Structure 1
Amino acid sequence: MGDYSQDAALFRAVFDSAPLGMALLDLEGRLQYTNPALTQQLKYAPHALLGKPLVELLHPQDQSPCLEALEKAKRLQQDVACGEMRVQQWDADYLWFRLNLCPVSTAENATSHYLARLEPPPTNQARAEQVYLLSFALDYTSDGVLLLDDQLSIRYLNDAASHLLGQARQYLLGQGIAQALPPLALHSDDDLREVIDMQRKLSLELTHPADARGYHVSVQFNRFRYDRRGYSLVLIQDVTDQQRMAITLRHNESQFRALIENTHDAIGRLTPDFRLLYANPALEALSLRPLSQAQGRSARYAFGNNSQIDTWANMVQAVANSGTSMEEELIHGVDGPPDQQQHYLVQLVAEYNTRGEVTSVLSLARNITDIRKAERRLAESNQQLRELASRRESTREEERKLIAQEIHDELGQHLTALRMGISMLRLQFGEQAPGLSDKVEHLMALCDRTIQVVRSIATSLRPAALNMGLYPALEWLIGEFRQHAQIACEFTTHCDEPVLADDQATRAFRVVQEALNNVARHSGASRAEVSLERLDDIYKLDITDNGCGFNTASVSNRSLGLTGMRERGISLGGEVVIFSYPGQGTTVQATFPVSVPQEVL
């Protein structure tokens, strides 16, 4: 308790001995305590000021700013400078003081009092130095500064203002603001004073007197009063570059909008939660409702609910979450007739704000319906070509089969009968004509060679082993390959012999035959293998060698043999794939479905 009393006494002594005028105010702004310096300056008795509101001591023009400063000090809980104000002495004269207000808080951090400090204003010399410093500083600013009196005449301007207005200081001083800024002459005095009182910001276009070039300035008015007189501070800023940039930006924006509005692509902007922000006419044409009704609402309101809209919404959310662009094909009118459906290739791109956050997603949709129709027509044409090629292949194989059969049955029988007839000549007339035996031997050898040629031709047209099934035909083919190519080759099976129609077995045989021909002619291999296995509902036929291999990308498009194998794979209902790499051999793999020939059904 004793320490507290000592501290209070110490603070009171400091307060009373302060050379500045100081007063303690309550929350209503009434004087609760004043120090001797203040009572002496105002010529009051020591206790005559107690209980008086501070504002009653101020000049009427200074009372409102003081009340605002009290509220501001309480709200911000910090020292507030009120500026220079006039305080009335006991003899009714006014003295200028610099007034500062500081809130005084209790232990509960609530403002209970204000501390007012009243400092005498600077001397005339100090004021002159401050004015000179301010003028010096303003001359170094890039913005023009004008000081107008109550008659709107120029009392002061800095170098930047003289440069912006294109006239010397001496000429502008004393001129009216409308003469310095000609566009303001279009306003009446009352309108101009209203603009100044409202502290509006104007954009004016001026013409420089020296070179007649046009430029733009921004003019800001600030109205204030000083020593019972009104003044206006005018800030002038050259905004020619900003104006030019704004015009360019508006022009580019107009061009871009015209491009967006007239493109055939459907373009829209959506929020991450799938609300429609913008749609160009192409996208609006796909909407169920006008943009004016759908804007700001869920895109489902505009385009309905179906699986394609669900996919679109999921894409928007994924792009907003990841920031990664996405592309997908969607169908407009998926629930309608196929001939009325429209295919769109939709691309989504995230849009970011200055903080790097995704704020919206840009959607660009291109109509590819005609492309899809052309692809379908092309696929149908390709299918027709394949069917035609398959029929041609079947017809050719059938013709080969018939020709081989005719050669074997007719020509083979005739040659055999001819050989037998020549042999009978030797038996009947050999003794009567000694030279006949040599002739007969020569003719019989010629018949044998001819029969062998006939058999070779019939076999090359269609091996007779094909009539017994795919396995016997492949075993015969591999035996022929070993004999003629002198390359070791094995035939491995992992399933029972496939039950195939004659044309299917022939196509599979021709694939193996072409693959082995390529091994013999191009691979330089020392070993080859043919294997057949069943995997669920498909057969897998592999022809593998350990040869030199090749680059499939550079050879396959130019090789009729490889193309023929692929076409035969397609006609089998499957495909033929070639795996090869230089120095690592080659594998030709044919896969085709398990099927039952028509004869068995």
Structure 2
Amino acid sequence: MTSRRIPRRCAPPPACASSSPPMAPAMLNDPRLVRSTNSLRGSVVLRLFAIVFVFSCAVTVALTATQLYYDRSLANIAPRILVNQAANTFLVALFITWLLNRIVTRHLTAIARAVARYDFRERPMPLRLDRKDRSVPDELDRVVSAINAMAERVYHAYLEERRTSVERQARHAAEAARDELELRVARRTEQLARANFELREQIAERERAQAQLALSEARLREIVEVSPVPLSIGSAAEPRMLYANEQWLELFGVTESELPGICLDALYVEPDGRRKLLERARLGGNVTDTEVPVRRLDGAPFWATMTARLASFQDEPAIYVGFHDVTERKRMEQELLDSREQLRQLGAHMEAIREEERKRIALEIHDELGQLLTALKMDISLLKMHSGGHPEMLKKVIGMRDLVEQTMSMVRNVANHLRPAALNFGLVSALEWLTEDFGKRTGIVCQLVLNADEPNLSDAHATALFRVVQESMTNVARHARATRVHVTMMRGEDGLVLNVSDNGCGFEQTACKRGSYGLLGMSERARLIGASLQIDSVVGSGTVVSISIPVGSGSEDDQDSDRG
């Protein structure tokens, strides 16, 4: 429908000139009219649906499809009408807005918030509107019901999808597990096949090894049976015999029927002999050439050399022992030791006799020969006095006197070397005489250092120590090519210590151990008096001979008690 506004100056149509338009009554009776009453300064305005406005002041405005008719007297109140109409329209719009918010908008906002908070992974709580229940549901109720139904369907769809996803994942996992299991089964089957093949090879190899072992055992048994060495195999866990050859049975005097009941511990003289043998075999692996006293079944003891080794026999830990009867050798060794000891005792006795003989000869030379020479010297002096001044006779007498004096000097030297007279006054006096005489005879500087008092030694012990020092200095003069010798006597922790050191050429000790009778004699002299002898020598650095004797050993009191 279009409307057109008529210019104000144009004349109204004749039908509208009168105060009551002729069409007004008909329009008022039109059933399509919707009436509303508004107050405007006491006037009642009727709004006719046919867009006809009738005012009580007899002003009628008619709007048709083509023209708008109005009264000029309405021009003054038109603005008021418009303002009033705008105010009414605003109030109506405000009321309608409040009404919409009350009825629709707040519920839509609550629905939107509920939908925003909705989590399809949890069971939905039914959405309810904060209003009174209606007997007849409206659009909001239907929207809420639809949303609740949709949420329930979405939740069930999620559950179904999750169940389907779980089933799908389980199916995929099962398929992957099945594939992995099939792969493992294939690999395991291959490994089992390979292991089965290797096992068959090992079984075959073991059968071959067992056959070879059986053959070797048969050969070994034959060898053992014919071996001249007594061999036995005993249990390592208990003293029980497992096997023995004929030579062992003969050696220990055992019959084959008695073999199973033999206790191996009874065959050893020492109570724990078998245990010691097992411990040595466990620690070292093999026991070689060990001499042990054993006994025969009848109790007769004898010496045997054993060679033992731990092994297994008939799947049982065992010890293999080979015996060699060394009773005869041990007897000969003991006889040799006894003979050597007798020789040492004989040597000591001979040395003592020799020292006594030297002492006696020295004493006789000093006393008897010395006295004779002294008497001869006195006779020569008397002959000189009775020569009567004869020159030839006097010269002859003087020559005879000089010869007698030389003879007396030689006799004294012989006597001192046989048995130094200073030795009768103690070891210190003898060492002083020895060092002084050594320096005079050899021209080598010899120094004696005494850091101890005169020791309380018997004559035999003092003589032995003196002879060791004398032999050491003789070796220096003969072989060392030394220019200085030091003799020291001091008290050590273990007793009296005598050292003889030189700055000579030294020697190889290993090369001089054999064939050096001087060193051997020194060692034997030291051993006879219970002393220890030590020789240290380095080529080009000289030699040190040290002899030490324990405190109290060889004292004169001990010697007197031995004699008593």
| TM class, shorter-length | 0.5 to 0.7
Distance 2:427 2:167 in 1: 122
CA 1:323–1:555: 2 relative to 1, 3 Å: closer
Is 1:465 the equivalent of 2:422?
Answer: yes
Counterparts of 1:6-85 in structure 2, within 5 Å, are 6=164
For residue 250 of structure 1, report the CA deviation from its aligned partner: 4.7
CA distance in 1, matches of 2:427, 2:171: 123
**Matched residues in 2 for 1:246 and 1:370: separation?**
43
Structure-2 separation of matches of 1:6 and 1:291: 84
Give the corresponding residue for 1:227: none
Cα displacement (A) at 1:471: 1.9
Q: Which is greater in Rg? A: 2
SS at match of 1:406: helix
TM-superposed deviation, 1:291? 4.2
Query: With structure 1 as the length reference, what TM-score do the two structures score?
Result: 0.52
2:345 counterpart residue number:
387
Distance 1:287 1:596, change over 3 A: farther
For residue 519 of structure 2, the aligned residue among 562, 567, 571 is 562
Q: CA deviation at 1:536?
A: 6.0
Q: Does 1:332 align with 2:289?
A: no
Instruction: Assess, with a 3 A threshold, how the Cα gap between structure 1 residues 495 and 4 changes in structure 2: closer, same or farther.
Output: same
- Residue from 388, 391, 406 that aligns with 1:430: 388
Pair 1:523-2:515 in alignment: no
Match of 1:257 among 208, 221, 227: 221
Instruction: Describe the superposition over 1:56-103 as per-residue Cα deviations: whole angstroms up to 9, x where unpaired.
Output: xxxxxxxxxxxxxxxxxxxxx999x9xxxxxxxxxxxxxxxxxxxxxx
Pairing 1:410–2:389 present: no
Alignment partner of 2:356: what SS? helix
Structure 1 CA distance, aligned partners of 2:354 and 2:170? 126
Q: Distance in 2 between matches of 1:536 and 1:375?
A: 36
| Letter paired with 2:242 | Y
Report the AA paired with residue 303 of structure 1. Answer: D
Residue type of the alignment partner of 2:264: A
Give the distance between the partners of 1:418 and 1:595, measured in 2 at CA.
43
Q: Which residue of 2 aligns with 1:586?
A: 543
Q: Please say if residues 576 and 588 of structure 1, whose CA atoms lie closer than 8 Å, have aligned partners that are also in contact.
A: yes
Q: Relative to 1, partners in 2 of residues 1:367 and 1:494: Cα closer, same or farther, differing over 3 Å? A: farther
Indicate if the aligned counterparts of 2:268 and 2:294 stay in contact, CA closer than 8 A: no
Q: Which residue of 2 aligns with 1:596?
A: 555
- Contact map agreement 2:310 2:320 (CA 8 A) in 1: yes
Instruction: Give, in whole Å, the separation in 1 of the partners of 2:498 and 2:171.
Output: 112
393 and 314 in structure 1: CA distance in 2 versus 1, 3 angstrom threshold:
closer
Superposed CA deviations along residues 369-423 of structure 1, whole A, max 9, x for unmatched, are 3332222111100111112222222222222222211111111111111111211
**1:447-596 correspondence runs (5 A):** 447-535=404-492, 538-593=495-550, 594-596=553-555
Q: What is the rounded CA distance, in whole Å, between the counterparts of 2:224 and 2:291 in structure 1?
A: 21
The corresponding residue for 2:303 is: 343
Q: CA RMSD in A?
A: 4.5
Quote the residue 2:128 is aligned against. Answer: none
Alignment partners' CA distance in 2, 1:270 and 1:4: 74
1:8–1:441 distance in 2 versus 1, CA, 3 Å: closer
- Which residue is equivalent to 1:110? none
Please tell me whether the aligned partners of residues 461 and 554 of structure 2 are also in contact (alpha carbons under 8 angstroms): no
Q: Which runs of 5+ in 1 are unaligned?
A: 15-76, 82-238, 295-300
Map of 1:58 onto structure 2: none
Which residues of 2 match residues 110-509 of structure 1 at below 5 A?
250=214, 252-261=216-225, 262-271=227-236, 273=237, 276=240, 278-281=242-245, 290-293=258-261, 301-304=263-266, 308-310=270-272, 312-317=274-279, 319-320=281-282, 322=283, 324-326=285-287, 328-332=290-294, 340-351=300-311, 361-431=319-389, 433-509=390-466
Q: Give the 3 Å change call, closer, same or farther, for CA 302–275 of structure 1 in structure 2.
A: closer
Aligned to 2:513, the other structure's residue is in SS state helix
Q: Conserved in 2, the CA contact under 8 Å of 1:569 and 1:576?
A: yes
Per mean C-alpha deviation after superposition, the further-off stretch among 561-570 and 252-261 is 252-261
Q: Quick one: structure 1 residues 263 and 278, their matched pair in 2 at CA, closer, same or farther if it must change by over 3 Å?
A: farther
- Does the 8 Å CA contact 2:506/2:537 hold for their aligned counterparts? yes
1:450 Cα deviation after fit: 1.4
Rounded to whole Å, the distance in 2 between the matches of 1:252 and 1:407 is 84
Following superposition, the deviation at residue 517 of structure 1 comes to 0.6
- CA contact 2:241–2:264 (8 Å) conserved in 1: no
Report the Cα distance in structure 1 between the residues aligned to 2:398 and 2:287, rounded to whole angstroms.
84
The residue number in structure 2 matching 1:39 is: none
- Preserved CA contact (<8 Å) 2:487 2:499: yes
CA distance, structure 2, for counterparts of residue 407 and residue 424 of structure 1: 24
Name the one with the larger strand percent. Answer: 1
Assess if the C-alpha contact under 8 Å between 1:319 and 1:350 holds in 2: yes
How many Å separate the matches in 1 of 2:345 and 2:448? 31
- Any idea what the Cα deviations from partners look like across 1:175-222, whole Å, max 9, x if unmatched? xxxxxxxxxxxxxxxxxxxxxxxxxxxxxxxxxxxxxxxxxxxxxxxx
Distance in 1 of aligned mates of 2:560 and 2:258: 63
Q: Distance in 2 between matches of 1:504 and 1:577?
A: 18
Q: List runs of 5+ in structure 2 lacking aligned partners.
A: 1-158, 173-180, 186-203
Structure 1 contact 287–302 (Cα < 8 Å) conserved: no
Q: Is the 8 A contact 1:487 1:527 kept in 2?
A: yes
- Deviation of 1:309 after TM superposition, in Å, equals 4.8
SS at match of 1:599: helix
Q: Say whether the 8 Å CA contact 2:265–2:272 is kept in structure 1.
A: no
Aligned-pair CA distance for 1:567:
2.3
Amino acid corresponding to residue 554 of structure 2 in structure 1:
S
User: Residue 560 of structure 2: SS of its match in structure 1?
Assistant: coil
Please report the TM-score for the alignment, with normalisation by the length of structure 2: 0.55
Alpha-carbon separation, structure 2, partners of 1:577 and 1:266: 46
Shift of 1:531: 2.8
Shift of 1:492: 3.3
SS of aligned partner of 1:558: coil
Check the 8 A contact 1:500/1:596 in 2, yes or no: yes
